[in-house]
Amino acid sequence: MRWRKKLFHWINKESQEVMDLKSNVSCLNEEVRELKSQLANHKPSPVYIVEQLNVEKYEVHNSFGAIGIKNLSGRLNIGANYENELPDNIGELLDWKDEEVSKVKNRKQTQRNMQVHQPKVNVKSKDAVIKGNGPD
């Protein structure tokens, strides 16, 4: 007997859900009918195709002189800027760069000094070149 009672309750519950669904479907059908009637009564807006447009006068008004600037701050970046802000140890980096540049200059100067002491030209006598006894 107990299972009949459960079955009866389940059937009632399901039939109520079916009735709710049927009412929802009927409401949706009514809305669809209303939208179709509105669409049928709606006139499409005209479409205009402009092939040529002539502008007789074009005015540009720049009123930068009327703008009052109370505070101007920030940074102006011109060109390729890959960093947003300078590093905190910029002084140390510049000192290191100066040291490296001075080292390179000193190396070049020592190389020039060493080249001064070396002979740059070999002198051959005219007689040795003719006889073939000259250094080659």
What amino acid is encoded at 57 in this protein?
Answer: K
Q: Please, how many CA atoms are within 13 Å of residue 54, restricted to the half-sphere of its CB?
A: 1
Q: What is the pLDDT of residues 48-101, one digit of tens each?
A: 888 888 888 888 877 777 777 788 888 777 776 666 666 677 788 888 889 999
Tokens of residue 80, six digits: 């390729």
Angle at 52 between CA 47 and CA 54, to 5 degrees: 120
pTM recorded for the entire structure: 0.29
Q: Which residue has the tokens 């389940």?
A: 10
Q: What is the CA radius of gyration of the chain?
A: 48
Distance between CA atoms of 38 and 115, rounded to whole angstroms? 99
Question: Tens of pLDDT along 92-123?
Answer: 888 888 999 999 999 888 887 776 555 566 66
